[in-house]
């Protein structure tokens, strides 16, 4: 059984979360991912050992090989051009202008391989007044409008890890762009450039919320909206054991089921309540949910056709029966470290499923292997090492 992207060759110049997450998805779906990394000197053996353990457990580096090229050196750039000539996709996540200075930008590469898809991933895109600004996820979700609506009423914004900009707006959008460009190439025979700005992607993720604002003119208030915890039937509640339960009963029939399950049929007519009545319902629900443990409530409410979920800590994910059944927490065998757990593959394809074929590579682990594939001799490889072009 083949994988959907079998035969697609990707050169991965990215470093931080968004690019590696993108190429992880492509690799899981069968693409041949070659990480092109810069040299790093002076690592102690104990540090290398710790690094190896970290890489083995790092899901975003799986299904990849690694070559070290010092792209500031002409011989290394020549090797990169040879790789690019055979590649289908290049992914890079440097600040705008860096790849041009290194001589591996799209304008240069398209002359070598006009069928290649070149994806640049940056905070604000390749143009505009912010394009050269440094930043991280927290900054992109600030500019993109997401951070301002997340949090409790009257409090500071709550930082949702680096999920929205890095992984969703960045890595996933880049993956979509690459797959779309590969489809377009089937029709045109030509590659193209994909410019992915994470702040752009955050705005796109807010399509539903922004549509409401543009239609009404009312600015959403943090923690007070329908989908941000502002109503009793779409919120989280602390339970008897100090854990939390999520309730998402938006539809009237689900809300009615919830009220009946809680023994508060009198609250059924008040789903749309505001002001004091809404606060009263919040207070009643909070008091009721503190009478049982989280798991007791879940087991009970899940029998009532109610939108309910346990709020898990990370150490609970691997035992959830649904996640186990869907193979979303995998236990893999490693020859040195034994059982290694990683997130599974979320894209389920019936005919061409993805697969995990290898753990993340050590820095430059496949340099010699890749150069031999390009036709270099062992002697020339040694010479390139001495020149500092490869590692």
Distance CA 183, CA 4 (A): 12
Q: What is the distance, to the nearest Å, from the Cα of residue 329 to the centroid of all Cα atoms in its chain?
A: 16
Span 234-319 CATH architecture: 2-Layer Sandwich (3.30)
Angle formed at CA 17 by CA 180 and CA 115, multiple of 5 degrees? 30
pLDDT at 380 over 70: yes
Please give the model's pTM, rounded to 2 decimal places.
Answer: 0.95
Token representation of residue 272: 């749309």
> What per-residue confidence (pLDDT) applies to 2?
85
Token representation of residue 9: 């060759």
- In 3D space, the residue among 16, 177, 219, 161 whose CA is nearest the CA of residue 90 turns out to be 177
Token representation of residue 70: 């010092």
Output the CA torsion sign for 174, 176, 179, 182.
Answer: negative
Distance CA 199, CA 332 (A): 35
Can 9-205+336-387 and 234-319 be said to share one CATH topology?
Answer: no
What burial class does residue 160 get, using C-beta atoms within 10 Å of its C-beta: 0-12 exposed, 13-18 middle, 19+ buried? middle
User: How confident is the model over 8-54, as pLDDT tens digits?
Assistant: 999 999 999 999 999 999 999 999 999 999 997 544 444 566 889 99
Angle formed at CA 255 by CA 249 and CA 257, multiple of 5 degrees? 115
Mean pLDDT of the chain: 96
Distance CA 157, CA 222 (A): 8
Alpha-helix residue ranges (DSSP H) falling in the chain: 18-28, 45-57, 74-86, 98-102, 106-112, 137-143, 173-188, 198-205, 207-216, 252-261, 275-289, 294-301, 321-325, 367-373, 378-387
Cβ 34 vs Cβ 11: under 8 Å: yes
Give exposure, 349-386, as e/b (b: 16+ Cβ within 10 Å): eeeebbebeebbbebbbbbbebbeeeebeeeebeebee
Catalytic positions, please? 136, 166
Cβ 177 vs Cβ 90: under 8 Å: no
- In 3D space, the residue among 234, 218, 237 whose CA is nearest the CA of residue 226 turns out to be 234
| Residue written as token pair 């009793």 | 232
Distance CA 111, CA 109 (A): 5
pLDDT at 105 over 90: yes
> What per-residue confidence (pLDDT) applies to 47?
56
- In 3D space, the residue among 89, 87, 83, 107 whose CA is nearest the CA of residue 97 turns out to be 107
Predicted confidence band of residue 1 (pLDDT cuts 50, 70, 90): low
Output the CA torsion sign for 360, 364, 368, 370.
Answer: positive
User: How confident is the model over 195-211, as pLDDT tens digits?
Assistant: 999 999 999 999 999 99
Predicted confidence band of residue 132 (pLDDT cuts 50, 70, 90): very high
| Per-domain boundaries in the chain | 9-205+336-387, 234-319
CATH of domain 9-205+336-387: 3.40.50.10540
Cβ 69 vs Cβ 38: under 8 Å: yes
How confident is the model over 264-286, as a mean pLDDT?
A: 98
User: How confident is the model over 303-346, as pLDDT tens digits?
Assistant: 999 999 999 999 999 999 999 999 999 999 999 999 999 999 99
User: How confident is the model over 171-204, as pLDDT tens digits?
Assistant: 999 999 999 999 999 999 999 999 999 999 999 9
Q: How far apart are the first and last CA of the chain?
A: 36
């Amino acid at each position: 059984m083949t994988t959907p992207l079998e035969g697609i060759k990707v050169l991965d110049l990215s470093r931080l979360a968004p690019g590696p997450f993108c190429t992880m998805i492509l690799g899981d779906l069968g693409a041949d991912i070659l990480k092109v990394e810069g040299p790093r000197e002076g690592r102690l053996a104990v540090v290398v050992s710790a690094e190896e353990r970290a890489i083995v457990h790092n899901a975003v580096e799986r299904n990849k090989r690694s070559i070290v090229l010092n792209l500031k050196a002409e011989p290394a750039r020549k090797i990169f051009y040879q790789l690019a000539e055979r590649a289908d996709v290049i992914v890079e996540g440097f600040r705008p202008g860096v790849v041009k200075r290194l001589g591996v930008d799209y304008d240069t590469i398209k002359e070598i391989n006009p069928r290649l898809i070149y994806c640049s991933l940056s905070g604000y895109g390749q143009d505009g007044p912010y394009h050269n600004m440094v930043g991280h996820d927290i900054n992109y979700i600030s500019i993109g409008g997401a951070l301002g609506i997340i949090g409790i009423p009257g409090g500071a914004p709550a930082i949702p890890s680096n999920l929205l900009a890095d992984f969703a707006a960045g890595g996933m959008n880049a993956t979509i762009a690459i797959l779309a460009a590969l489809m377009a190439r089937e029709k045109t025979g030509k590659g193209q450039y994909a410019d992915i700005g994470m702040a752009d992607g955050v705005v796109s993720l807010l399509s539903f919320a922004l549509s409401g604002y543009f239609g009404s003119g009312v600015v959403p208030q943090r923690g007070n909206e329908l989908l941000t915890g502002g109503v009793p039937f779409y919120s989280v509640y602390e339970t008897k054991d100090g854990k939390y339960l999520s309730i998402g009963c938006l539809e009237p029939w689900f809300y009615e089921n919830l009220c009946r399950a809680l023994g508060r049929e009198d609250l059924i007519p008040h789903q749309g309540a505001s002001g004091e009545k809404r606060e009263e319902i919040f207070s009643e629900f909070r008091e009721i949910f503190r009478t049982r443990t989280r798991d007791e409530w879940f087991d009970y409410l899940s029998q009532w056709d109610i939108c309910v979920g346990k709020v898990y800590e990370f150490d609970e994910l691997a035992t959830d029966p649904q996640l186990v059944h869907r193979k979303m927490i995998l236990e893999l065998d490693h020859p040195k470290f034994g059982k290694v757990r990683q997130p599974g593959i979320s894209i389920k394809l019936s005919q061409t499923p993805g697969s995990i074929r290898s753990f993340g590579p050590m820095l430059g682990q496949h340099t010699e292997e890749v150069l031999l594939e390009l036709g270099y001799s062992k002697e020339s490889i040694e010479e390139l090492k001495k020149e500092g072009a490869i590692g």
